[in-house]
Chains A and B, each alone.
Chain A
Amino acid sequence: MSLLWLRFALGCYFISLIYAFFALTRTSDLFSRIALHAASLGMVFHFVSLVELFLSGQVVWASVHNGESLLAFFSMTFFMIVYAIYQTTSPGVVVFPIVFFLTFVAAVDQQPVLLTQYVSHKGWLVAHIILIFTGYAALVLSFGASLLYLLQERRLKSKKPTSLISFLPALEVIDQIGYRSLLLGFPFMTLGLLTGTILAATTYGHVDFLDPVFLLSLLMWAVYMLMVFTRWNSGWRGRRAAVLATFAFFAAIVAWAANYFSAIHRFAAS
């Protein structure tokens, strides 16, 4: 049943996805309102799906697919927070496709890759997953903002009066969205990785430092920290910040994809 709700959510996110593609070439208030309502409705279905999964007594936290669904929901929540503060749907250009993709993968009816079947410290596991996914969602938004910053910067530098991407908010607003997401996400990501390491250590009795997930997560965290530091220390924006954000984002994707190959999240099977 939870899968059905998730598919309803996917349908709504699809409308938002269309908006994301069209918003780059034309501006329409009506369309952005429709996309916003579709995304909100999608979130409701999504929430119901997650709650049902939790109540069903199945191990919600166990599968990669459920994790992806949770991450999509968190990313959408961040998007809505940004919308509430800045009244702009433009980060949707980046967030909507990512959310759609994650929900799509989660909603595909196939045997999910199991992360774990049994964990002795369930509280730690829940904390780990929520923290790390909040960090991921913030990273998604920060990545989106840095891309939008580049777009807006290019538009202003090209000096051509065009309605193309004129829906973008002011450069400094985009910058604030990105920076605040970054600052908010970093402690979550750090704590998420720490809890994960502790969890692995307590379950296994040791941590496999050469595991691809561990290495890639560490790399992602290092880039994340570099982003925060360069921004705080020398105010890196624009192209350089976008390069770092892109790098961190892809490191995150690869770290996540490594779940399909790594053993670290299957400790319960051992």
Chain B
Amino acid sequence: MRFQLIGVNHKSAPVEVRERLAIPESRLPDACRELAAYPGIEEGMVISTCNRVEVVTHTANGHADLRGFLHEHFRLTAADLDEHLYEFREKDAVRHIFRVASSLDSMVVGEAQILGQVKEAYATARAVGAVRGQLDQLFSRAFAVAKRVRTETSVGSSSVSIASVAVELAKKIFGSLEGKTVFIVGAGKMSELAARHLMAHGCASIFVSNRTYERAIGLAEKFNGQAIRFDDLYATCDRADIVITSTGSPHAIFRREHGEQFLARRKNRPMFFIDIAVPRDVSPDMAKLDGIFAYDIDDLQQAVSSHVADRRKEAELAEAIIASEVERFEARLHTLDVVPTIVSLQDHLETIRQAEIDRARGRMGQLTAEQEIALEALTRGIINKVMHTPITTLKTAAKESEATTIVEVVRRLFNLHNKEAPQPAKKHEEETRD
């Protein structure tokens, strides 16, 4: 189990750092390829969401220079990055992945979106061949664990989410949301969800703007709203009280001068910007204006954190599930580790048995059918009896820490080192997937 993981998340790094590390979807395959080709790395995968950027690998010797990879890939120095990084190995890395997939490490604990995002990252890495054996098993298991956590605890059932927090904040600004206008900039799933919540609380009308106008029309139709061409964004935006923005723009699209224009046209009536984009769409300069209330993804996290206490109890239950699943996964991986040795041993003894039978036939001449059967039964019986104890010991040891030592001893005793270890049986792989 030579898993190694490095990354930043919403807890370890502010949005200013995370936005420098964010990898757009289109560049993710290249990043995975680059990672898999990095020295010391056998398999690799990159998870990049607005709250985390993580590099998950299976290494050749358990000590790949993942920091070096990040420095090279993002052209950042150790001083810029290292203080924000966390790194996990082996069992800890497995636990972390299980926690991420189960949404226990999320900004909003229990939110469902992260599982989809991890699955997408996994599919991308798999498609470019960066994920094959070990990571494949790890993530297959992680998805099963996430499913278990979701069904066995109610961690995901509470309504606390970015969307409901946005509604709460909007109410703190506007009081009633009756008759308020919402503007969605950048048609994403999260902004759609937030808009749906706001509409459910009384917002009257909605505008949608997207660089791809057709997508804006599609989303506007869902809400009975109006699609606005991206070029007309600044001319119309002041008509909205609440703006949900989540574009993939590398720079802020709402700057101070825009805020000043909006406020002048609105006679200083306040505007609420929900900025769920990373990098951020609303510049910090604009957020300072009187009358502009801009909450970025980190601010929303803070607002959410007060609700998180309610979920803590369920999260504890989920953590217990994760702990037991990590043990199970580790045991299973160890079992997989001993399987090649057992197969080699069986092959080795079978080769010896066949050779001895051939020699016996040479000495004894033509054997009758009954004699052939008796000889076969005799030798096979001896082999099975001899093999029974070592195989049982190996299988038992697989669940314990000394597995590697025992495997090594068996391989040395029977001189199995020179023989190529066969791959684990397909059915073991299948078992790991639920």
Q: Which residues of A contact B (CB under 8 A)?
A: 152-153, 156-157, 159-161, 169-173, 234-240
19 A-B pairs with CB atoms under 8 Å apart are: A152-B172, A156-B293, A157-B293, A159-B299, A159-B302, A160-B302, A170-B172, A170-B174, A170-B176, A171-B172, A171-B174, A171-B270, A172-B173, A172-B174, A173-B175, A234-B268, A235-B267, A237-B268, A238-B291
Determine how close the nearest CB of chain B comes to the CB of A164; give it in whole angstroms: 12
B residues less than 8 Å from A236 (CB atoms): 268
**Chain B minimum-CB-distance residue to A152:** B172
Q: Shortest distance in angstroms between B262's beta carbon and chain A's nearest beta carbon?
A: 12
Contact flags B283-320 to A (C-beta < 8 A → 1, else 0)? 00000001101010001001101100000000000000
Q: Mark B249-284, 1 if CB is under 8 A from A, else 0.
A: 000000000000000101111100000000000000
Question: Is B291 within 8 A of A237, CB to CB?
Answer: yes
CA distance A103 to B306 in the complex (A): 41
Top-6 shortest CB links A-B: A235-B267, A170-B175, A235-B268, A161-B306, A159-B299, A238-B290
Contact status of A237 and B299, CB under 8 A, knowing A169-B175, A173-B175: no
| Contact status B303-A161, CB under 8 Å | yes
> In the docked arrangement, what's the CA distance between A239 and B270, Å?
13
The reply to whether A159 and B267 contact each other, CB–CB distance below 8 Å, is no
Q: Which of A157, A172, A239, A240 contacts B175 (CB 8 A)?
A: A172
Residues from chain A with a CB closer than 8 A to the CB of B433 are none
Residues from chain B with Cβ under 8 Å of A235 in the complex = 266-269
The interface residues of chain B lying within 8 Å CB-to-CB of A239 are 290
Can you name the residue of chain B whose Cβ is closest to the Cβ of A161?
A: B306
In the assembled complex, B11 has its CB within 8 A of some CB on chain A: no
Chain A residue contacts of B302, Cβ below 8 A: 159-161
Q: Is the CB of A172 within 8 A of B306?
A: no
A-chain residues with CB within 8 Å of residue B293 when the two chains form the complex: 156-157
Residues from chain B with Cβ under 8 Å of A173 in the complex = 175
Determine whether the beta carbon of A170 is less than 8 Å from that of B268: no
Q: Is there a chain A Cβ closer than 8 Å to B171's Cβ? A: yes
Q: Number of A-B pairs whose CB atoms are under 8 Å?
A: 50
Would you call the interface of chain A mostly helix, strand, loop, or mixed? helix
Contact of B267 among A160, A234, A238 (CB under 8 A): A234
Min CB–CB distance A9 → chain B (angstroms): 33
User: B267 — which chain A residues lie within 8 A by C-beta?
Assistant: 234-235
A171:B268 contact, CB within 8 angstroms: no
A161 vs B268: C-alpha distance when bound (angstroms): 25
Q: Compute how far the CA of A170 lies from the CA of B302 in the bound complex, rounded to whole angstroms.
A: 19
Nearest CB on A from B308, distance (A): 10
Alpha-carbon distance between A171 and B293 when the two chains are bound, in angstroms: 11
Partner of B270, one of A159, A169, A172, A240: A172
Interface centre among A157, A172, A238 (most CB of B within 10 A): A172
Contacts of B175 in A (CB 8 A): 169-173
Docked pose: A161 CA to B308 CA in angstroms: 12
For A169, what are the chain B residues with a Cβ–Cβ distance below 8 Å? 175
Shortest CB-to-CB span from B259 to chain A, Å, is 13
Indicate whether A170 sits within 8 Å of B266 (C-beta atoms), given known contacts A153-B290, A237-B290, A238-B290.
no
CB distance from A175 to the nearest CB of B (A): 8
Asked whether, in the complex, the Cβ of A170 is within 8 Å of the Cβ of B305, the reply is no
A161 in contact with B291 (CB, 8 Å): no
User: What is the bound-complex CA distance between A152 and B175, given in angstroms?
Assistant: 12
Bound CA–CA A172/B175 (angstroms): 6
Known: A170-B172, A172-B175. A161 touches B305 (CB 8 A): yes
In contact, B290 and A170 (Cβ under 8 angstroms) = no
Smallest CB separation, A160 vs chain B (Å): 6
User: Shortest beta-carbon distance, A15 to chain B, in Å?
Assistant: 29
Q: A153 CA to B268 CA in the complex, in Å?
A: 13
**Docked complex: B63-106 residues within 8 A CB-CB of A:** none
Interface-central residue, A159, A234, A235, A237, by most chain B CB under 10 Å? A159
Contact partners of A152 in chain B: CB under 8 A = 172
Q: Are A156 and B173 in contact (CB under 8 A)?
A: yes
Measured CB to CB, the closest approach of chain B to A120, in angstroms, equals 48
User: A166's closest neighbor in chain B, by CB?
Assistant: B172
Closest to A155 in B: B172
Measured CB to CB, the closest approach of chain A to B396, in angstroms, equals 52
* A152–B302 alpha-carbon span in the complex (Å): 17
Cβ-closest chain A residue relative to B170: A170
